[in-house]
Amino acid sequence: MDVKIKTALISVSDKTGVADFAKALSAMGVKIISTGGTARAIADVGVDVVSVDSVTGFPEMMNGRVKTLHPKIHGALLGLRDNTEHLAAMETHNIEPIDMVCINLYPFEQTVAKPDCKFEDAIENIDIGGPSMVRSAAKNHKFVTVVTCPDQYEKVLAEMKTNKGAISNQTRSDFARIAFGLTASYDAAISKYLNQKADVEFPERINLSLSKVRELRYGENPHQSGAFYKLPCSGEVSISAADILEDQTQISFNNLLDVNAAFELVKEFSDPAAVVVKHLNPCGCSVDEDIHKAYQKAYLGDVVSAFGGIVALNRKVDKDLATVIMESYARFGKAKGAGGFFAEVIIAPEFDPDAIELIRTLKAWGKRVRLMSTGPIDRTKIDTNEFDVRCVVGGILFQQRDLVGWEPDQLTYPTKAKPTEKQLEDLQMAWICAKHVKSNTITLVKDKKLVGVGAGQMNRVESGLIAFKNAGDEAKGAALGSDAFFPFPDNVENAAKAGVACVVQPGGSKKDDEVIAAADKLGIAMVFTGKRHFKH
């Protein structure tokens, strides 16, 4: 059923396009009811406006806290036009139907995001009348159109122009569905803020507010559908806040998981760093004074696994760096036995225009690689209040994010041999990389280059053997990182056979004494962190 719009109530905080919208509605004969600043903005373009207090017969009061919470407003929105009792009540109480409400809510999230926001300011920016009218209109969408976003104005006007001033049932239904999502999201933001203020880490109820960024080609596999949603922006630089440049090839579900894994690791380093990720695990990682060399060393960490991987950098991609990345196989990979190279995604803080042009034209695969630009990385804006969320069937697990890095003051040195300053640098990188590898984890780092990784095995010994095999001769003199303690000396013994010089691990095993004794016997320096980095 189509419903002709005769009367509209407009009251918005975001006034983008609202004056032109009201003007177009008025030109189609729609009566406009409005309040406060919205009424002034509409009147300024020559549109006749009826004030809310003239409709209700009751003045705005309490600094505007009470103005639309009135039976003549909500009766006008909730009254069923095909119900004789409702119509009789509306006639008895002189309630004129309202066919459309155009509402967007007080900017609560923008207000509380300000560093100097006071609690009183936050409370005053909790909208009451707006969500109430949105919900009333959405409930009665059989007869009422609820418009909650400036992006909807064009659709409303176009439909009214082609439909004799009426809005279709489909549009009213779609807008109502969106409206309830808006009010749910709004309440979730308020709840999150109040929980934080009360220092409640895990409240009785958690409502996640997410907005859809894009639908994906499919999920992990082609028979699964998928979409990408993001939380409200916290100011942290992340893949959720990144721009996809020239979105020529649709990014996939698996791409986004891998890009997140790569970018979160590269964010750990303040010096120029490059990471290559395949199937959620880093197969290459390097830190160097020169970002070009850092990328080269990261790629050379595992040229076979790098094929079809994700490249993450913490510095701008200029034309020279773009050339090095695109020519990885010809410059370095061929000699190392790689079968070829291409990247699914390259993510970096910024891309020079000539770098983008070169990526798109130098190699055939450059036309389809996704480029993601994040802006400058600022570790001071890490959102420590965001949860790490994992889904299980029928429920969700919440935990704090693992934001623990290298903590020099917490380290202990249980072995007779002590690591050198250079070894400590490699141990630090091995520990940070281990944090971003699936458990059980063994990482090998030499000269600030990840040379071997053992990931996700059912036992730590097997992870070590895989890492040693991948590293080959580069394991000699390398630093080994383990995400959890060694339950037996076997990992140390295998490390010594491979030529490993030093080890970093949490410690805390019942057999630490045996592990330490084995390290002493084999001349390996060991560092305990006191923390573990399981990543299931």
Q: Where are the domains of the chain?
A: 3-197, 238-375, 410-528
Task: Indicate the pairing of strand 442-445 with strand 395-400.
Answer: unpaired
Helix ranges, 275-329 (H): 291-300, 319-326, 328
Same fold: 238-375 with 410-528: yes
* Cα distance between residue 146 and residue 176, in whole Å: 6
Question: Residue 224 above 80 pLDDT?
Answer: yes
* The predicted structure's pLDDT at residue 169: 94
Q: What mean pLDDT comes out for the span 96-110? A: 92
* The predicted structure's pLDDT at residue 383: 87
Strand partners, 273: 287
**Residue 218 — pLDDT band, cuts 50, 70, 90?**
very high
Cβ(15)–Cβ(36) under 8 Å?
no
Token pair in block for residue 447: 């000269």
- Render pLDDT for 359-397 as a digit per residue (tens, 0 to 9): 999 999 999 999 999 999 998 889 888 889 999 999 999
* Cα distance between residue 476 and residue 454, in whole Å: 16
Which one of the listed residues 279, 292, 319, 511 is annotated catalytic? 279
Angle separating helix axes 36-43 and 18-27, nearest 10 degrees: 60
pTM: 0.88
533 catalytically annotated: no
Give the C-alpha distances (Å, rounded to integers) separating 517 from 64, 73, 446, 491, 520.
Answer: 74, 80, 24, 13, 5
* The predicted structure's pLDDT at residue 480: 98
Cβ(110)–Cβ(86) under 8 Å?
no
* Cα distance between residue 89 and residue 334, in whole Å: 83
Collapsed DSSP state (helix, strand, coil) of residue 310? strand
Question: Residue 225 above 80 pLDDT?
Answer: yes
Collapsed DSSP state (helix, strand, coil) of residue 392? strand
**Residue 232 — pLDDT band, cuts 50, 70, 90?**
confident
Which one of the listed residues 139, 230, 293, 531 is annotated catalytic? 139
141 catalytically annotated: no
Percent of the chain with pLDDT over 70: 99
What mean pLDDT value characterizes the chain? 93
Domain 410-528 annotated CATH 3.40.50.720: no
**Residue 35 — pLDDT band, cuts 50, 70, 90?**
confident
Span 3-197: which CATH code? 3.40.50.1380
Give the C-alpha distances (Å, rounded to integers) separating 268 from 263, 265, 290, 336, 380.
Answer: 9, 5, 17, 28, 12
- Render pLDDT for 447-477 as a digit per residue (tens, 0 to 9): 999 999 999 999 999 999 999 999 999 999 9
Q: What mean pLDDT comes out for the span 500-512? A: 97
* The predicted structure's pLDDT at residue 491: 95
* The predicted structure's pLDDT at residue 333: 83
CATH class of 238-375: alpha beta
- Three-state secondary structure string covering 85-98: HHHHHHHHCCCCCC
